[in-house]
Structure 1
Amino acid sequence: MDDLWLSLPVGAQDALVSLGLLLPGLLLGVLVVRGFQPWPLVRAMLGRFRGANAIFVLLIAAAVALGAGLTAQERALRQGSARAAERFDLVLGAPGSEISLVLAAVYLQPMDLPLLSGEVFAEVAADPEVDLAAPIAFGDSWNGAPVVGTTAGFVTHLAGDLAMGRMFADHGEAVAGAFAPVGMGDAVEPAHGQGEVAEHDAHGGTAYVVVGRMAPTGSPWDRAILVPVEAVWEVHALPTGHAPERAEQIGPPFDPEWFPGTPAILVRADEVWANYALRDRYTRADVMAVFPGSVLASLHGLLRDMREAMSLMALVTQGLVVVAVLAGLSLLVRVFARGLALLRALGAPRRFVLAVVWSYAASLVGFGASLGLALGWMVAAVLSGLVTARTDVLVQARIGWTEVQLVTGFMSLALLLALLPSILASRRSPLNDLRA
């Protein structure tokens, strides 16, 4: 049996789990309505009490949307942040906070990081197991977009072939990210710093001309403006990484004695296994090697703990909503108790009254849960857009099997609990209700 289950596609397994969660409610429905046709009366009850029905449906929808939207958004945020870091195999920085290094180098968040020396960069670049060692120098901006100094090899590694134009080939040229707020041929005058503290006249009118544009990466680098790292050093009155007679050179090799330092180095090895050897080799007193994926895993663990806590709150909310809806149904049963009593007086058995009330409650639960699933997707999509705009990390929330299973489990529980007001309605005295 286990082998048969494992041989099924993941989607089929999820579908069967969802069906299994809904099955108790479905079986109960078959047993309750077997031998009766309560639906004409249910449609009449839904039409007559539109206001009260709408309130119940919206309450259920809100509870379902909270749980479904929360889980979908958390998963989308986790996937988006991991996708943004997938091109950063190994990042080197000065000893300090691993999280700060990853936030700065991968997500371009403003951070004050110490610099790695030219000797360290030369050692890394000359390592036989290193296929690419690219300095990443940040700290400048233009109209809110970060201006980052690096090499042509890093640009190609990050986004592949350019979508437009060509690679920078001079100190005064730049390559823009896919969604950077600048057009081809525009001149970019960098400001020192980012945000409100940026100094716009700090670089004496230095400008870069945009000659190329990268393909989308789904990361904050889509809004960045990339320039030769030599140009960043030059505008800060530092050596260009090359001896004076080669001051106009772009890209490696760099001269250690003329290398002014860099806050981060992207390292890519020839083989995946070599990354682990490089991490061990360059984790020492003067340098720190970090796997961004490992740092993200710890952050995702914290995020998962927060999601579980919020999911528990959502489940409690759903339970309270179910109790409130069932209590409301019990009160609403009193409103049409005279009509049910008339059915009993005409010879309808108690089970028919039970089937009518349960089917009425099941209709409200079904409409509310379906609406809540749609609202959860809409809310998650809106939140994803806000997160993407805020962090520049592409976050796309979608309703998946996890949310479907959450809703089917909720529906089964609600349908089981709906038996309570149904049984109470079927046991009311027809004579007393007719007299009332």
Structure 2
Amino acid sequence: MHVTMLLKSELRRSAGVILGMALVLALALSLALATSLTERMLRASSAAATDDFDLLVGAKGSSASLLLGTVYLRDEPLGLVPAPALSSLINAKGVRWAAPVAFGDRTGDSPLVGTTRAMATLGGERPLSAGRVFAAPDEAVAGAGSGLKVGDAFTPMHGRAAGAGHAHEAASFRVVGVMPATGTPWDRAVLVPIERIWSMHAHEDDHAHGREPLEHWMEEDLTHLPGMSAVVVKPVSVADAYRLRQRFSTMSVTSPEGAVVNLMGVFSGEVLVDLYASMGSAARALSFITALTLAVALAATLITGVLLGRLRLPTLLQLRVLGAPRRYVGALIWLIVMTVVVTGAAGGLLIGWAIASGCAAWLADETGIVMAPALSRAEALPILLTLAAGALCALVPAWAAGRAKMT
């Protein structure tokens, strides 16, 4: 009788035990795979979100808060950058475009961002997917994921957190354009002229601003303007980027109240590297724990193989009586254990992918960053190691079964 025929019979008889051990192994392996997939997915997606934010200028403080508040639109405590800093940026050599951003309001669950037309079109390099850029103080450009479309009207709320703040009763906006989907938190944002944000919070006459051309203030004295949360800068070249960062990291600007505000320039990529370093330490600790879990699961598989050999000892001895060599009996037990290992490895890949996909959906909902897991050689390594370790472990119960003595 060929060994595969007997293997099928044994698999049917021990299906419950084999599937149970395969599930334990699959769950252990899935943790390692899900950790690897999620970490790489998070790194790639968060890095892609900074593509349009090469250089950020803000009030001196936490560079991480500046990044999280500006690029990922998190509710971070950002100091105000006095408006005169913007005139220095706009006129600086090596600046392709620069745009102020002011936070603090929302419409529904979407953050309201006061800015200029340069931010909506990335300095004219990105066309809108629908409509046009705002041309009046009461017009807005909505993100692709904000739920707003051209022609919609809304009244903003003060405060960035949903369920908090109060409505700006005298302020209303009409959507005239929609930005293309970017897969970043800015898909949820709604962009409006920054001068309207200033007037809303200063309680000035909005109609007075409507009589002036939009962004006329950029060519005037800015010392009387309130300021902004940060300035997004697109340098012409890498050399310009380093020169501008150095310049604005040593600059001080006086606010309308007379306070001296020190500025800082940060590269989004450099801040992410620091954040990744912290995240990497946690990921290594989790990988160590999952490796131990996987080792325990393999040990359990080994024990299962030994026990199956003992339970099937009468059958194995009968095969020996009928003339089956030791290698035949050993091969049968080895194949049974490897069936558990291969099934567990395949199940671990599927469960790990499902966990990573669930994490991607949850993170996208929480952060606004579109994510999707992608398999690579990094995931092939733990699977191959599991199969190799399983093949070696299976030799132990196979050798024990082959050495069983006939009485």
CA distance in structure 1 between the aligned counterparts of 2:163 and 2:330, rounded to whole angstroms: 69
- The CA deviation string for residues 327-353 of structure 1, in whole angstroms up to 9 with x for no partner, is 122112222111111100111111111
Amino acid at match of 2:333: V
Contact 1:149 1:230 in 2 (8 A): yes
Aligned to 1:174: 140
The correspondence for 2:272, drawn from 296, 301, 315, is 296
Amino acid at match of 2:328: F
CA 1:270–1:254: 2 relative to 1, 3 Å: farther
The correspondence for 2:380, drawn from 404, 411, 418, is 404
CA distance in structure 1 between the aligned counterparts of 2:210 and 2:27, rounded to whole angstroms: 69
TM superposition score normalised by structure 1:
0.86
Q: How far is 1:313 from its partner?
A: 0.6
- The CA deviation string for residues 207-241 of structure 1, in whole angstroms up to 9 with x for no partner, is 1111111111111000011111111111112679x
Aligned to 1:116: 81
Determine which structure has the larger helix proportion and give its number.
1
**Which ranges of structure 1 fall in alignment gaps of 5 or more residues?**
1-35, 432-436
TM superposition score normalised by structure 2:
0.92
The correspondence for 1:229, drawn from 194, 217, 227, is 194
The correspondence for 1:390, drawn from 352, 360, 366, is 366
Q: How far is 1:175 from its partner?
A: 0.7
Q: Is 1:343 matched with 2:319? A: yes
Report the secondary structure of 1:393's partner residue: coil
Q: How far is 1:181 from its partner?
A: 2.3
Aligned to 1:100: 65
- The CA deviation string for residues 68-126 of structure 1, in whole angstroms up to 9 with x for no partner, is 01100010001110011111010000001101111111000112211111221111111
Q: Write out aligned runs for 1:80-159 (5 A).
A: 80-157=45-122
Contact 1:169 1:250 in 2 (8 A): no
- Count of residues in correspondence between the two structures: 394
Q: Write out aligned runs for 1:236-255 (5 A).
A: 236-237=201-202, 247-250=212-215, 252-253=218-219, 255=221
Q: Is 1:54 matched with 2:19? A: yes
Q: Is 1:64 matched with 2:40? A: no
Contact 2:159 2:165 in 1 (8 A): yes
CA distance in structure 2 between the aligned counterparts of 1:105 and 1:194, rounded to whole angstroms: 13
Aligned to 1:318: 294
RMSD: 2.0
Amino acid at match of 1:129: G
- The CA deviation string for residues 336-382 of structure 1, in whole angstroms up to 9 with x for no partner, is 11111110011111111111111111111111101111111111001
Report the secondary structure of 1:430's partner residue: coil
Amino acid at match of 2:381: Q
Q: How far is 1:197 from its partner?
A: 5.8
Q: Which moved more, 1:398-407 or 1:231-240?
A: 231-240
Amino acid at match of 1:174: A
Contact 2:135 2:214 in 1 (8 A): no
CA distance in structure 2 between the aligned counterparts of 1:312 and 1:406, rounded to whole angstroms: 12
The alignment-based identity, stated in percent, is 35
CA distance in structure 2 between the aligned counterparts of 1:196 and 1:246, rounded to whole angstroms: 33
The correspondence for 2:328, drawn from 352, 366, 373, is 352
CA 1:43–1:253: 2 relative to 1, 3 Å: farther
CA 1:114–1:254: 2 relative to 1, 3 Å: farther
Amino acid at match of 1:57: A
CA distance in structure 2 between the aligned counterparts of 1:345 and 1:215, rounded to whole angstroms: 76
Report the secondary structure of 1:320's partner residue: helix
Q: Is 1:216 matched with 2:181? A: yes
CA distance in structure 2 between the aligned counterparts of 1:238 and 1:120, rounded to whole angstroms: 24
Q: Is 1:270 matched with 2:236? A: yes
